[in-house]
Amino acid sequence: MGAEDRERGSLSGSSRGADRADAAVRSAVRPSRPRRDRPPLEQRPLRPQRGQDASSWAKVLFALRPPRKLKFTREGKYYLGITLGVGFAAINTGNNLLYLLLGMLLSLIVVSGVMSDLSLRHLTVTRRLPARAQVGRAHLVEIEVYNHKKRVPSYAIEVEDLRAGQPADKRCFFLKISPASAQVAAYRRTPAKRGRDRHTGFRIATRFPFGLFEKSREVEAEGNLIIYPAVDPVRLPVEDAGRREGGASLNGRGGGDETFGLRPMRDGDDPRDIYWKKSTMRDQLVLRERTRETRPDVQIVVDTVRPTGEGDGFAQAFERRIREAASRAVAHIKRGDAVVVATTLGERVRGDRNLGSDGILRFLALLDAVDEARVSELSAERAARTSLRQASSPGPTSGERRTGTPRTAP
């Protein structure tokens, strides 16, 4: 088949019946890449976890581990039992027909091993993670398998995405991958908790050709995805008109009350902005340009200190505070406010309509509680870093200047 052949990919997961409909819509196959864009031929085997690297016994086991893993299916166990029975009968009776039947059964096992190994060879798997993900909202992860073999296709390939510290419950199934071509499928996942989701590698398996054995191998493929906290709809109180109209002035043109500059009036300008004190002294009308105004930042404070002696209830309350802070920050940014999210330890991040809420949500996604006994130590380290940074750059940058006093969210 040519390089422009297209095939279908399908999704299979722990709940195959529910996911099969989504897979029919989401799965797609892309034509083979140009030769310069092809991924590398081989991927490194998946190494043990970092906690096991220090053990010499774990290193020895990893070095002696076979490149492939073989597992009997239910049909394979029955087939092996029948083969052993025929072998014992042939040895006890000496019947040539039983020896012939035993040879046929053993030859199927050999053929199954050779063909399954050919299907697994020279396959490269890559992962495409979404730009952002959120707790409670489903997102798609694309899995692409490239077959580097020039003449031999790969059949019945099942790719399982492995994540650190979590069970592998999502997998993609590829019926056929033509030579020198790639195939893409996607699976749907709904995160249950915020934080950093670390993908470690893939488990590539096949039951081709007879379904008697499942041969698999694990390859290394790192990937990180930040899971944002969930955001609930929040109804903010209506602000006073005076507070919305007021605020500190910025260096720029806008619709404020203070004067930014004067210029001659041109066609299309608003006559209400004519500066009459200067216009009476000249033949040409003079227009007053107003300054641009800004509103004070909305400040949301999150308590990240875990008191000594707190039980499991603190973790639930802390996650609830994170969710409330994220919800209020997004609601204020949608209304047009500038938001500053700060912690009791001095960490802070700012967001507004121009910057968006991604920075705040990422900050809250990676925020962890700190024990009360470590507060003084962390404060000293932060003070040392701040003094070092100030020594290297004594003047504040334009992004660090604040024109208004932060106000607490209502």
Q: pLDDT digits over 188-225, tens only?
A: 999 989 999 999 999 999 999 999 999 999 998 888 99
Same domain, 333 and 255: no
Flag whether 356 is in a domain.
Answer: yes
Same domain, 306 and 289: no
Flag whether 54 is in a domain.
Answer: no
Can you give the pLDDT at residue 336? Answer: 84
Same domain, 193 and 329: no
What mean pLDDT is reported for the chain?
A: 77
Same domain, 343 and 290: no
Helices vs. strands in the chain: H and E counts, helices first: 9, 18
Q: How far apart are alpha carbons 282 and 284 in whole angstroms?
A: 5
Tell me the pTM: 0.66
* Highest mean pLDDT (candidates 213-227, 236-250, 379-393): 213-227
- Does position 237 have pLDDT exceeding 70, yes or no? yes
Flag whether 5 is in a domain.
Answer: no
Can you give the pLDDT at residue 335? Answer: 87
- Does position 66 have pLDDT exceeding 70, yes or no? no
- Does position 246 have pLDDT exceeding 80, yes or no? no
Same domain, 182 and 257: no
Q: Which two tokens stand for residue 205?
A: 């398996």
Contact between residue 365 and residue 193 where contact means Cβ atoms under 8 Å apart: no
Q: Which residues, other chains included, contact 94 with Cβ-Cβ below 8 Å and sequence gap of 6+?
A: none
Q: Which residues in 355-364 are b (16+ Cβ under 10 Å) and which e?
A: eebeebbebb
The enclosing domain of 100 has a CATH number of: 2.60.40.10
Flag whether 216 is in a domain.
Answer: yes
Flag whether 1 is in a domain.
Answer: no
Q: How far apart are alpha carbons 172 and 187 in whole angstroms?
A: 7
Flag whether 236 is in a domain.
Answer: no
Same domain, 26 and 164: yes
pLDDT digits (tens, 9 = 90+) for 330-354: 999 988 888 999 988 888 899 988 8
Same domain, 22 and 43: yes
Same domain, 290 and 266: yes
- Does position 25 have pLDDT exceeding 50, yes or no? no
Among candidate residues 171, 197, 228, the one where a domain is terminated: 228
Q: What values do phi and psi take at 296, rounded to 5?
A: -60, 150
Flag whether 177 is in a domain.
Answer: yes
Same domain, 305 and 384: yes
Can you give the pLDDT at residue 274? Answer: 76
Q: Which domain holds residue 313?
A: 298-395+403-408
Beta strands in 295-401 (DSSP E): 298-302, 305-306, 339-343, 348-351, 370-371
Same domain, 93 and 16: yes
Residue ranges of the alpha helices (H) in 262-365? 276-279, 313-335, 358-365
Same domain, 152 and 265: no
The structural domain count of the chain equals 3
- Does position 22 have pLDDT exceeding 60, yes or no? no
Flag whether 233 is in a domain.
Answer: no
Same domain, 272 and 314: no
Q: Which two tokens stand for residue 283?
A: 């033949």
